[in-house]
A and B are shown apart, each in its own frame.
Chain A
Amino acid sequence: MEPMVKHEGLVACMNRVNVDTDQIIPKQFLKRIERDGFGEFLFFDWRYLPDGSPNPEFELNRPEAQGATILLVDDNFGCGSSREHAVWALRDYGFRVILAPSFADIFYNNCFKNGLLPIRIPRDLYKQLSEAHARGEWRRMTVDLEQQTVATEHGVNLSFEIDPHKRHMLLHGLDDIGITLQYEAEIAAYETSRRPYQLVYA
């Protein structure tokens, strides 16, 4: 997995609450058996008009959002289905960081497995940043995972909280499975002391 230490990039803003994973990647694109190539289907139903042309109204299709690598979005982003395809699509499109007042739990976890950094920010700050963004006062920001700080080009600085384990994994691009297998002895020991209802009876 690609590590994430520091990232500077263009910010796209979506002023929407409860964006569910069905919107991020609609079900007709879940049938593929690969992890890559989902970016072109990101936000498909919002992004394209029925004739297949880009919907000029959609936030990511606006000229100022072209090349965005950071997404600023409202509450409860990634709710609904557990589909990791949503994260694959965001990453494949080019996003490395998402800032929102809150994320749905499964989506939040999935981000860290794919080098995508989700940052929770206070809702007041979200409103302040998105309104200033809409007024064109700023477009770019720098995110520093090591320092746990965010700095916008118009001078707003903030620090964010993140689970130290998740931070460590992302900073070093670590594979969870490799780490877990270091605890093989503990897992094997646990398995010898399982309770009767933990087993599957044939």
Chain B
Amino acid sequence: MGKTLFEKVWDAHVVKELPDGQTLLYIDLHLVHEVTSPQAFAGLRFAGRKVRGPELTFATMDHNVPTVNPKDVRDAIARKQIETLEQNCREFGVQLAGLDSPFQGIVHVIGPELGLTMPGKTIVCGDSHTSTHGAFGALAFGIGTSEVEHVLATQCLWQSRPKTMRIQLNGSLQPGVTAKDVILGLIAKYGVNFGTGHVVEYAGSLIPELSMEQRMTICNMSIEFGARAGMMAPDETTIAYVQGRRYAPKGADWEACVAAWRDLKSDPDAVFDVDVVLDVNDLEPQVTWGTNPGQGVGISGAVPDPKDAKSEEEALAIRQALEYMDLKPGTKISEIPIQHVFIGSCTNARIEDLRLAASIVKGRRVADGVRAVVVPGSKQVKQQAEAEGLHEIFLEAGFEWREPGCSACLGMNPDIIPAGERCASTSNRNFEGRQGKGARTHLVSPAMAAAAALAGHFVDVRELTSEGVTA
């Protein structure tokens, strides 16, 4: 029997297998940020341990960083956390893309753009959206702080072998429909825990059509349906993306890597524990109405009625979500007004996301009463966008143009959505209180967020014409 992509990567990283099934896996790349690492470094210090692989460990600060003036961290506890990371990196010899670095940004944006993320690697980070890096054919997953300490000390991690799932995405996306809509549509259909215990491989005819950035958006949200990791087999698009990046191999090393990557795909006779097929041809732009990423619907749809739920539990979940979101059953999605737009996060703050949003707002104006903010995913994304003049398009339309960071995705910095107000957000979680206590989050693609900013409510971005937006 053949092997899956996941099995090939897993098998290549086994340091030791115990009779009870636990496997000691070698970790090739450990990404670190300020929020989930201080207690891990403190543990090392307490035990007199060192970082085993400082050259394989790369840190940045993103969660707490203010996006108006990143160095003006007025929250004393946040500042302490940022300074603690600086001090820990110095003490333990870990590379840091700090606030002064031209490479600082959201950890899952900078890994790929620096060429640290490569096919076939095992990649971990104390952050659940580490699944992003699976788009390259890496096995990448989020870990807790105790595991961060373990990887720092040993460059390894104990794991029990997960189950495997293949999700075949077949067909082509309509214009205006994006990778974000694919993953939101998938989770809306199958629920927020159908991936639990599984490593998912995304396959099917859609994947080769997607850019690396679109692939990252899909893999990024694998965790939102509980998957341990999401992966895609590397192809020419992947190789072209990695080539020439700052930390990517050059010359003979590069050739050796590319040769090894050719085999990084599931064998034709590989067997998955679960197989799922989704046709994307008719997929609409998606908007979430509830308080988990699975509570979403196409733009032509409406807020559901708990009476139509398939089970008592689902009805309860809908009722609780509608109460928090202050929505009534049957309300058309396109009639929901919004007061905030957030274009950012590790899901959708890469250059293609900003280009897409800019192409929609160009020459138009943000609707009255809407505060719209663009937070690029990294310093490099920001620099590229400015070189292309995208910032001017956003600013002229009435958007705010900020410095990079996680920002309003989770509101650990000052970027918080006020209680009771609605945000069309390109981020990944619409949990209660995620963007601020009482804030109401609707997850959408960058295209849909841009369109909502212009209209003041959700609109089908496919219906936007050159004549303008109907408010």
Interface residues of A in 64-100 (CB under 8 A from B): 74-76, 79-85, 87
Docked complex Cα distance between A196 and B251 (Å) = 12
Quick one: CB contact mask for B146-163 with A, threshold 8 Å, 1 for yes?
Answer: 110110011110101010
- Given that A22-B433, A82-B36, A84-B36 are known contacts, is A201 also in contact with B412, CB under 8 Å in the complex? no
- Given that A22-B429, A196-B249, A201-B247 are known contacts, is A183 also in contact with B160, CB under 8 Å in the complex? no
- Using Cβ atoms and an 8 Å threshold, which residues of chain A touch B146? 84, 110, 113-114, 176
- Given that A31-B35, A33-B39 are known contacts, is A201 also in contact with B150, CB under 8 Å in the complex? no
- Using Cβ atoms and an 8 Å threshold, which residues of chain A touch B156? 180, 183, 187
Would A202 and B247 count as touching, CB distance under 8 A?
A: yes
- Using Cβ atoms and an 8 Å threshold, which residues of chain B touch A191? 26, 155
Chain B residue, CB-CB nearest to A180: B154
Q: Within 8 Å of chain A (Cβ to Cβ): is B226?
A: yes
Q: Within 8 Å of chain B (Cβ to Cβ): is A149?
A: no
- Given that A33-B84, A201-B250 are known contacts, is A186 also in contact with B16, CB under 8 Å in the complex? yes
- Using Cβ atoms and an 8 Å threshold, which residues of chain A touch B253? 196, 201
Interface size bucket, A side?
35 or more
Would B153 and A165 count as touching, CB distance under 8 A?
A: no
Q: Within 8 Å of chain A (Cβ to Cβ): is B471?
A: no
CB-contact partner of B412 in A27, A87, A113, A168, under 8 A: A27
Docked complex Cα distance between A200 and B242 (Å) = 13
Would A79 and B20 count as touching, CB distance under 8 A?
A: no
Q: Within 8 Å of chain B (Cβ to Cβ): is A52?
A: no
- Using Cβ atoms and an 8 Å threshold, which residues of chain A touch B143? 82, 106, 109
- Given that A33-B80, A176-B158 are known contacts, is A200 also in contact with B55, CB under 8 Å in the complex? yes
- Using Cβ atoms and an 8 Å threshold, which residues of chain A touch B460? none
- Using Cβ atoms and an 8 Å threshold, which residues of chain A touch B128? 80-82, 106
Q: Within 8 Å of chain A (Cβ to Cβ): is B328?
A: no
- Using Cβ atoms and an 8 Å threshold, which residues of chain A touch B127? 81-82
Q: Within 8 Å of chain A (Cβ to Cβ): is B193?
A: yes
- Using Cβ atoms and an 8 Å threshold, which residues of chain B touch A201? 115, 247-250, 253
Would B257 and A26 count as touching, CB distance under 8 A?
A: no
Q: Within 8 Å of chain A (Cβ to Cβ): is B126?
A: yes
CB-contact partner of B121 in A18, A31, A74, A197, under 8 A: A197
- Using Cβ atoms and an 8 Å threshold, which residues of chain A touch B16? 183, 186
CB-contact partner of A83 in B12, B26, B36, B256, under 8 A: B36
Docked complex Cα distance between A34 and B431 (Å) = 25
Would B197 and A105 count as touching, CB distance under 8 A?
A: yes
- Given that A31-B77, A198-B121 are known contacts, is A20 also in contact with B193, CB under 8 Å in the complex? no
Would A165 and B24 count as touching, CB distance under 8 A?
A: no
Q: Within 8 Å of chain B (Cβ to Cβ): is A23?
A: yes
- Using Cβ atoms and an 8 Å threshold, which residues of chain A touch B26? 187, 190-191, 194, 198
Docked complex Cα distance between A183 and B18 (Å) = 11
| Residue with the greatest number of chain A CB neighbours at <10 A, chosen from B80, B193, B261 | B193
Docked complex Cα distance between A114 and B147 (Å) = 11
- Using Cβ atoms and an 8 Å threshold, which residues of chain B touch A124? none
Quick one: CB contact mask for A168-181 with B, threshold 8 Å, 1 for yes?
Answer: 10000000110011
Quick one: CB contact mask for A5-42 with B, threshold 8 Å, 1 for yes?
Answer: 00000000000011010110011101111110000000
Taking the closest CB of chain B, its distance from the CB of A34, in whole angstroms, is: 7
Docked complex Cα distance between A35 and B149 (Å) = 13
Q: Within 8 Å of chain B (Cβ to Cβ): is A135?
A: no
- Using Cβ atoms and an 8 Å threshold, which residues of chain B touch A136? none
Docked complex Cα distance between A79 and B160 (Å) = 19
Docked complex Cα distance between A128 and B349 (Å) = 46
Docked complex Cα distance between A23 and B429 (Å) = 12
- Given that A102-B193, A165-B21, A201-B248 are known contacts, is A76 also in contact with B226, CB under 8 Å in the complex? yes
Docked complex Cα distance between A163 and B260 (Å) = 34
Would B39 and A105 count as touching, CB distance under 8 A?
A: no
Would A163 and B118 count as touching, CB distance under 8 A?
A: no
- Using Cβ atoms and an 8 Å threshold, which residues of chain A touch B115? 201
Docked complex Cα distance between A131 and B191 (Å) = 25
Chain B residue, CB-CB nearest to A101: B193
Q: Within 8 Å of chain A (Cβ to Cβ): is B317?
A: yes
Q: Within 8 Å of chain A (Cβ to Cβ): is B56?
A: yes
Q: Which 9 A-B pairs have the closest CB atoms?
A: A113-B146, A84-B144, A33-B38, A110-B144, A82-B142, A31-B77, A84-B145, A82-B128, A196-B256
Can you list 24 residue pairs at the A/B interface with Cβ under 8 Å?
A18-B292, A22-B429, A23-B431, A27-B434, A31-B81, A33-B81, A76-B226, A79-B192, A81-B127, A81-B128, A82-B144, A84-B36, A106-B141, A106-B142, A110-B145, A110-B147, A165-B18, A165-B160, A180-B153, A181-B154, A183-B15, A183-B24, A196-B249, A201-B249
New contact pairs (14) apart from A18-B192, A33-B84, A163-B22, CB-CB < 8 Å: A22-B429, A22-B432, A23-B433, A30-B35, A33-B80, A45-B433, A76-B193, A81-B128, A84-B145, A84-B146, A104-B193, A180-B24, A180-B156, A198-B26
